[in-house]
Amino acid sequence: MAFNIDDLKPTPGSRKRSKRIGRGTGSGMGKTATRGHKGQGRATGKVSARFEGGQTPLFRRIPVKGFKNRDAVEYATVNLSILEERFESGSEVTPEILLKMRILKNLKDGVKILARGEITKSLNIKANAFSASAKEKIESAGGKAEVI
């Protein structure tokens, strides 16, 4: 028994006929064509989740507090106590080395050295900023504080 291309048919039940809407009242899907009656959802579809029926929305009723200064410089900070623990006397400390040793996760806008803790080793520290007391402690221990 040979098959021809015109003998091929889909398996019964595998293909569902599409709904023919808007084809008269006798079809059961005439008149409004399954779209319901007039209303807000008719023209635009759905209303956004934040819409409150014309009432002033919550995000406009709540006052705005504070602001974010776009020009503010945010430093990644390192204390002298950490430098004392992790570095040998006479070694150089730079932001790249601090990243490599995982003392810092990211450099942000630069590195600032703060004075918490004591330092006894003479270190050559290069950073974007130093607190006054940190600079004083580094230089009194025989080290160098260099601003990049």
Q: Which two tokens stand for residue 107?
A: 């450099």
- The answer to whether residues 75 and 108 touch, using CB atoms and an 8 Å cutoff, is yes
- Percent of the chain, pLDDT > 70? 96
pLDDT at 55 over 90: yes
pLDDT number for residue 36 = 81
Beta strands in 10-143 (DSSP E): 76-79, 92-93, 111-114, 124-127, 129-130
CB neighbours of 114 closer than 8 A, spacing ≥ 6? 77, 78, 79, 80, 131, 134
pLDDT number for residue 39 = 76
pLDDT at 32 over 90: no
Q: How far apart are CA 122 and CA 112, in angstroms?
A: 18
Q: What is the rounded average pLDDT of the residues 123-147?
A: 92
Strand (E) or helix (H) holding 82:
helix 80-86
Contacts 24+ apart (CB under 8 A), 37-40: none
Supply angle C-alpha 23, 27, 28, rounded to 5: 115
pLDDT number for residue 43 = 63
Domains of the chain: 76-147 (3.100.10.10)
pLDDT number for residue 35 = 82
| pLDDT per residue as tens digits for the range 105-134 | 998 899 999 999 999 889 999 999 999 999
Supply angle C-alpha 119, 76, 122, rounded to 5: 20
| pLDDT per residue as tens digits for the range 59-108 | 999 999 999 999 999 999 999 999 998 998 889 999 999 999 999 999 88
- The answer to whether residues 122 and 89 touch, using CB atoms and an 8 Å cutoff, is yes
